[in-house]
Structure 1
C-alpha cells in the first residue's frame, strides 16, 4: 500500500481563518482577554504578504496576521506564526523577530507575535531572539504553544468543544501514524465520529471534517473504506450531515485548489505554464499526487526539472 504525504498547512490556515477567537481562547488565553470581541477582527492577508515577501522558509509554515481592537479601544495587530516542520530549525526565532519588526515598521502598530510548534522534538521551544553588542541590546520574547504538550491532556481534548482541540488531536495523530496508513485510518474515523458525539453544529462538523480529512491523508483504497464507514454510521444514526455529494464536493474542491496552487507556483517561480502542462495537471485527480507536485514546483529550478518530477511521480509503480 502506497504512503501519502500528510497535509498540515492548509487545515491550519483554514482553521485559523474560520476560528480565530477560539484559537486564542484555546492556546493563548491571556492574549484573548486583551481583545474586545464585540468588534470583528480583520484578516490582513495582503499586508502579511508585504511582511513575508522575501522569506524562503518553505512550505511547512503557516502565517496569519489579524487586526484587532483591545478592550481600551486601541488598535493592535496579532501576527500568528505556526511552525509545523518536523525538524528543529535554527532560524525560527530570528524569523519571528524579523516579521515582528517589519509589521511594526510598515504600519506603526503594536504587534503580538505568537507561535504554535507542531514539530516532533520535545526540547525545541524557541521563544525569544536578541543580541547585545557594544551597549546596544535588542530582544523579542514571544508566547509559544507546543502541541506535543497536549498529548498528556488527551482526555480533556476529547471533552472540549473548542474547534482547536479537534485540530490538535488530528495533528498529533497524523504525526504519530506516519508510515502506518491503517492506524491513521482508524484514528481518522475516531476523530470524525467524535465530531457528531460532541454535539457540534452541522456547519462546524463539516468544516472540522474538512480539516481532518485534508490533514490525515490516506491512500485511495483506505480513503474509500473510510467514507463507506462514515456513510454507514450516518445511516444508522439517521444523521446524513455529510452526504456523498458533499463528500465528493469537498474532495473536488481540494483537488482543484491543489491544481491551481501548482500552476501558480510554477508561474511565479519559473515562467508561463504551457497549455500541454496545464492539460496534464488538469487530468490528475489524486490529491496526494498533486501535493507532491506542489512540493516539486517549489524546489525545482526549471520547467524541465518539473516535467521530470511529474513523470516520476505519476509513473505507475511497477515494483509491487
Structure 2
C-alpha cells in the first residue's frame, strides 16, 4: 500500500531554498568550498519544468535545480531530488538518469545530483541506474542520502542548522503514528532550535523562522497535544519571539494564541492575543505595528511594553500619527 505525504515535499523544497548554503555545506562540503556565494544561487524552477514532462513535474514538486557560481568563474548546476515515501518505487533510478541526461543535453552543464530519501523503506536505497541490451551498456551513479540511516546523536551535535531539518525528518520516521512519541520529538526539536549552540544571534535570525515553521508542520500534532506542547514551551517561545524576531504566522502556535485571546475576556488573555498579532507582523516592522496599536487606542505604556520601544519613542510615533 502506498503512503502519501502530500505536504512534506513542499516543506522540504521551502527549507532547502531558504537555507541553501547550509544545505549544500551539510550534504557536500567539497562543493561548498568551491562556490562563490557572493553571487547568490539561482533557482531554476522554470528550467526544471522544461526538463520534466508535465505529468512528472506535477508529481516532483520538491525537486530543485540550482545554478551556482564557482570561485574559478565557472558555473555548477545542482540537481536535488526529494523522494517521498510511496512515489514511483521501481522507476526511481531511471528518473534520476533521465533528469541527468536532459539537463546535460539541453544546457550542457556539469551536474551534482543528490537523491534525498525521506522514508524508511529500504527499496529507495538505489544509488545507480544500469542499462544493458545486446552489448550496449550504461551505468549512472548519483549521490544519495537516506534519512532513516542517520545517527540521532550525530545530527544533534552538528553545528549546521540544516541538521535540525534532517533530524525532524528522522523523527517523523521514528515516531510513525504514535502521538506521544511525536510530541516528545517535537518538544525536543523546539528546545534544540532555541538553545545556544555556539551560533551567533545574527545567524539564528537567518534560519530560525524557516526551521520553526518546518518543524511545526512536518511533526503536526492533534490539536489537544499541540496545545499541551505550546503551554509547555510558552516561556521559551515568548522570549525567543521577541529576541529573534520570530513570527508565529502559519503555525499551530499562532492559532493557539489567537484562540486564547478570543476566549479570555480578561486583560491577560487580551494581551496574549495582542502579542500574537505583534509576532505575526514582526517582519512588517515594529514601527508599523506600533502605529496600528496606537490607532486602536492602546496606551503608550502598553505599546512600549509590547513592541520593546521606549516610551519616548512611542510618544514620537504618536505625534507623527
The TM tier, using the shorter chain, reads 0.5 to 0.7
Match of 1:173 in 2: 171
| Structure-to-structure mapping, 1:136-151, within 5 angstroms | 136-150=136-150
* Cα offset, 1:26, TM superposition: 0.9
* Cα offset, 1:6, TM superposition: 8.3
CA distance, structure 1, for counterparts of residue 243 and residue 91 of structure 2: 42
Match of 1:25 in 2: 25
With a CA cutoff of 8 Å and minimum separation of 6, indicate the structure with the bigger relative contact order. 1
Which residue of 216, 224, 229 corresponds with 1:213? Answer: 216
Which residue of 160, 163, 185 corresponds with 1:162? Answer: 160
Distance change (3 Å), C-alpha of 1:42 and 1:161: same
* Runs of 5+ unmatched residues, structure 1: 256-320
TM-score calculated relative to the size of structure 1: 0.68
| Structure-to-structure mapping, 1:33-48, within 5 angstroms | 33-48=33-48
Worse-matched range after superposition: 188-197 or 119-128: 119-128
Distance change (3 Å), C-alpha of 1:87 and 1:30: same
Match of 2:313 in 1: none
Conserved in 1, the CA contact under 8 Å of 2:35 and 2:71?
Answer: yes
CA distance, structure 2, for counterparts of residue 138 and residue 149 of structure 1: 28
CA distance, structure 2, for counterparts of residue 134 and residue 14 of structure 1: 44
Q: Deviations over 1:167-208 (max 9, x none)?
A: 111111112212111221221011011111134523422221
Conserved in 2, the CA contact under 8 Å of 1:185 and 1:226?
Answer: yes
Match of 2:302 in 1: none
| Structure-to-structure mapping, 1:70-219, within 5 angstroms | 70-85=70-85, 89-122=89-122, 124-150=124-150, 153-199=151-197, 201-219=204-222
Alignment RMSD (CA, Å): 3.0
Q: Deviations over 1:278-310 (max 9, x none)?
A: xxxxxxxxxxxxxxxxxxxxxxxxxxxxxxxxx
Q: Deviations over 1:86-107 (max 9, x none)?
A: 5781111000011111112222
CA distance, structure 2, for counterparts of residue 34 and residue 139 of structure 1: 27
CA distance, structure 1, for counterparts of residue 34 and residue 240 of structure 2: 40
* Cα offset, 1:133, TM superposition: 2.6
Matched residue SS, 2:207: helix
CA distance, structure 2, for counterparts of residue 123 and residue 90 of structure 1: 8
Paired positions, count: 246
Conserved in 2, the CA contact under 8 Å of 1:9 and 1:59?
Answer: no
Matched residue SS, 1:97: helix
Matched residue SS, 1:112: strand
CA distance, structure 2, for counterparts of residue 190 and residue 76 of structure 1: 37
Worse-matched range after superposition: 73-82 or 199-208: 199-208
Conserved in 1, the CA contact under 8 Å of 2:241 and 2:247?
Answer: no
* Cα offset, 1:146, TM superposition: 1.3
Which residue of 207, 210, 234 corresponds with 1:231? Answer: 234
Q: Deviations over 1:54-111 (max 9, x none)?
A: 3448757620000112333222211111112157811110000111111122222222
CA distance, structure 1, for counterparts of residue 147 and residue 61 of structure 2: 15
* Runs of 5+ unmatched residues, structure 2: 256-321
Conserved in 2, the CA contact under 8 Å of 1:11 and 1:212?
Answer: no
Conserved in 1, the CA contact under 8 Å of 2:209 and 2:247?
Answer: no
Matched residue SS, 2:73: coil
| Structure-to-structure mapping, 1:264-283, within 5 angstroms | none
